[in-house]
Amino acid sequence: MKALVTGANGFTGSHLVRALTQRGDTVVGLIRKSSNLSRLADCPIELVYGDISDRHALRAAMAGVDVVFHTAAYVELGIVDAAKMERVNVEGTHAVLDVAQELKVGKVVYCSTVGIYGDTQGKVIDETFNRTQTDFSSAYDVTKYKAQKLADQFAAQGLPVVSVMPSGIFGSDDPHFGPVLKQFLKGGLKLWAGGDRITGIVHVDDLVEAMLLAAEKGKTGEHFIISAGDLPTKEMFQIISQESGIPVPKEAPKSLVKLVGNVLDPIGRLLKWQPPLSRERVHYVYDRCVRVDATKARKELGWQPRSVEEVLRQIVKELTQSSV
């Protein structure tokens, strides 16, 4: 099989590239000229340079491919470039789908997010859920929602696109929670905010496996929630603490966290700096709760992820070994 991976140098994309090449598939990666290629070291991959919305580059990258895995995205909360996020997440997805349709690609697997369902207010939902949140919690929230609508529209027009909706994607090289976990394992994380916040978890390699299964078995227009389960952040740290022997961080006072977020937010916007806390991030910690059920992927795709506990324990072991 010949596959195109957009965002090939990213967290999810690079793990997907390695899985594809290890099983003998031919892989093309679409990346920007400024991209850091360290994640693709030693990977036998053909690189095509271009912006995700560059149809000329996309045509070159998609020439002769059987499957397109669209993982490229601008993923960030807090202080973001909303116009750039719209260009990457929405216009870029539109371009990928448009060219795939033009070239009659056999299958497109789009990496979406459970965030498209909006705030479920703690209710556990599946793929049949219709979003009830009328507004949007972030620029990321609205752009991924728009991109998913595009994927659904193209599927309705006959493009064989399947969407996977992962929850929080974890791994030892995770660029989001990974730095926090490394700080914790060094004994430098004494306080944490929102211990009761429910966090959905899936290991990046299990997400990759789900994407490969979706390419093989998923039907046009299908949605698959990809999550191993969820648990409160404080319980997550308890598991990590048991594995590492490092004490669980103490809960930061909610009032203090909100105050710091309100103070740092305008400073971050003024200085074009991403503070550790902002109004948007505080909102996600305390006011938003998305819970999902991934039974469909298990039943229809035969997906068998490792448990949440296994994910966390494995990451701690890998990070501990790498620091020795």
- Closest residue by Cα to residue 223 from 134, 296, 168: 296
pLDDT surpasses 90 at 285: yes
How many angstroms separate the Cα of 11 from the Cα of each of 5, 8, 30, 229, 277? Answer: 12, 8, 14, 20, 23
Burial 186-224 (b: 16+ CB within 10 A, else e): eeebeebbbbebbbbbbbbbbbbbbbbbbbeebeebbbb
Give CATH superfamily name and number for 2-173+201-228+291-307. NAD(P)-binding Rossmann-like Domain (3.40.50.720)
- Closest residue by Cα to residue 201 from 223, 174, 180: 174
* Strand stretches in 11-133, DSSP E: 26-31, 46-49, 67-70, 107-111, 124-125
- Closest residue by Cα to residue 116 from 96, 93, 142: 142
Q: Which two three-digit tokens encode residue 182? A: 């490394």
Place of tokens 């700080």: 183
Mean pLDDT of 262-286: 94
Give the pLDDT confidence of 210-223 residue by residue, as tens digits: 999 999 999 999 99
- Closest residue by Cα to residue 141 from 204, 89, 83: 89
- pTM of the model as a whole: 0.96
The percent of residues in the chain predicted with pLDDT above 70, rounded, is 99
Mean pLDDT of 240-247: 94
Local structure of 10: helix, strand or coil: coil
Dmax of the chain from CA atoms? 56
Are 277 and 257 within 8 A, CB to CB?
yes
Give the pLDDT confidence of 20-49 residue by residue, as tens digits: 999 999 999 999 988 889 999 989 999 999
Mean pLDDT of 155-176: 96
pLDDT surpasses 80 at 164: yes
Q: Which two three-digit tokens encode residue 87? A: 């260009």
Domain locations along the chain = 2-173+201-228+291-307
C-alpha 237/C-alpha 244 separation (Å) is 10
Round the average pLDDT of the chain to a whole number and report it: 96
